[in-house]
Amino acid sequence: MTIPPKKILVLHEDKEERGRLGIMLARFGHEIRFSKGGGNPQNLLTDYDLVIVNDCLEGETGFDFIRQLSAEQRQKVIFITSTFWAGSVLEFQEVNVYEQILKPVDPLKLAVIVCDFFVCMEREPALEAKEV
């Protein structure tokens, strides 16, 4: 299955890390944009096919950013965190993002998760079986 290039936003406060992750994703033909955070989360998600959110953003946490999104929009989010939310598993489950990745992030692993996301989005619904 060939996935056409998609628009991806990487929200991360660290310029070097944003670039490192973006370079790997761009190798797969995706259009990558970067932000340190801030802005209206609702607008960001309508403009992009996928948003990768770091746990530390400029002016807020990535978790706070995600909580401002609708349930449908959260399914378009990959969350990068320095700790799995073991102390607040229920709170994190409420957020229900597509995937959570533990730091340090391997750019190739992120690229595989992104590919998996787009394959899941492109998959056609199964055909209904007809009775004979």
Flag the least confident range among 33-37, 56-60, 93-97, 123-127: 123-127
pLDDT at position 130, please?
46
pLDDT confidence band for 96 (50 / 70 / 90): confident
What are the tens digits of pLDDT across the range 46-75?
A: 889 999 999 999 888 888 889 888 888 899
Whether the bond into 104 is cis, omega within 30 of 0: yes
The bridge status of strand 50-54 relative to strand 56-57 is unpaired
- Average pLDDT along the chain: 83
Report domain extents, the chain: 7-29+38-48+55-122
In 3-state terms the chain splits into helix, strand, coil percentages (rounded to 5) of: 40, 20, 35
Nearest CA-CA partner of 9 in 82, 100, 77 = 77
Query: Span 7-29+38-48+55-122: which CATH code?
Result: 3.40.50.2300
